[in-house]
Amino acid sequence: MEHPPKTTRSNRLPAIDAFKAIAAQLIVLHHLAAYGPISDAVQKAAPDLISWLYDYARMAVQVFLVIGGYLAARTMFTSDRNEGSYTGAIFNRYLRLTLPFMAAVVLSIVCAMLARQWMADDFIPDAPTWRQLLAHTLLLQSVLDVDALSAGAWYIAIDFQLFLLMLGIVWLGNKTASARSATQALTTLMAAASLFWFNRDTQMDAWAPYFFGSYGLGAAAYWAGHRGSGSRFWLALIVSLSFIALIIDFRARIALAVGVALILYLARDSKHIEQYAARPVPQHLSKISYSLFLVHFPILMLANLLFNELGYTSALAGTVGMLATWGISLYAAGVFYRWIEKPASSFKFDRFRAFWKTERLVPLRYQLATTMFWVLAIPV
């Protein structure tokens, strides 16, 4: 989940905080409704609610896709880029996503190991292989079709792919005489290709082009709110293309992405939306949204293990268990943010490059690259 860079108060958009806060809770509730005996117990009393959470709450991912496009456009359109800065941007984004993610994967492996001792359920991951671990480290688990070690791992890989794709578009645009207009045109073409073709082919859902329609809507929402970035033309064009794509093949997730993009655009000029969204709770929940996304699944496994071992089956016990799991996940996310995600954000490309160029590592580079290739190439 994307986090806005530090800005002045005047540039802050509280609507993003509100969207992230709500969407993160829906993702957690979707997983609570999808996995384990706690969900089965609650379903006895509220089958419609569990069905809704399972079928529709997961569409909150579209909110993060739109926000990701918005923030990527803000970062890339307000930064002067030379050839070296692209490499730095890629590594910084990779480190920002992967360091907390792999810490959460280790936590998930430990919790799954405990859960497997006393409970047999399909949602509990098997013991990992080295190939799985390396695929997760490189954010290639979906591409290589290896089993995920934590719920939602696919999204982190897609987030990184989308960032790379957007950065590639900016790089191409900067090769032209009119860099900004060219970048906006290329983004719109890519979004159109996603809306009309890629997003209609479920076999493409391991790749960024499948999701770029929503990402492009977010970028266009940013441009529309900044006169120097292309005014409202590109947002009107992408929204129009989205409506045509929905007429051809209606997808609720795309309709939601259009709505989120339009609200983000309108929020810049709406004092009512800003005042409603600029509250401490949405800001805190937004800040810990990525940590919540990472840690809630290990907690869910342990909660279902405890629920199963205590022999609870009633709807009341399930409801209490689900609410308790949700609350503990929020608390754990705050702890994870403070001790893992926030410190990890200080690791930048410059520090990594200085370490990588250390003389004692020179003989190890070829061996490391060769080992990674064979581990990924040979299924084990």
* Tens-place pLDDT, residues 78-130: 666 665 688 889 999 999 999 999 999 999 999 999 999 999 999 999 999 99
Q: From CA 100, how far away is CA 95, in angstroms rounded?
A: 8
**Domain containing 267: what range?**
9-377
* Residue 341 covered by a domain: yes
3-class DSSP state for residue 206? coil
CB atoms within 10 A of CB 201: 11
Distance CA 199, CA 30 (A): 22
Q: What pLDDT, on a 0 to 100 scale, did the predictor assign at position 102?
A: 97
Q: Residue 308 and residue 325: Cα distance in Å, rounded?
A: 14
75 domain residue, yes or no = yes
> In the chain, how many domains are there?
1
Q: Is residue 228 in some structural domain?
A: yes
Tell me what pLDDT residue 9 has: 43
2 in a domain, yes or no?
A: no
Q: How many residues does the chain have?
A: 380
Whether 4 is in a domain gets the answer: no
Residue 189 lies in a domain: yes
pLDDT digit string, tens, across residues 325-356: 999 999 999 999 999 999 999 888 766 666 55
Q: With contact defined as beta carbons under 8 Å apart, do 41 and 314 qualify? A: yes
Q: What is the mean pLDDT of the chain?
A: 89
Answer yes or no: is 57 within a domain: yes
Scanning the structure block, which residue is given the tokens 């490189």?
Answer: 138
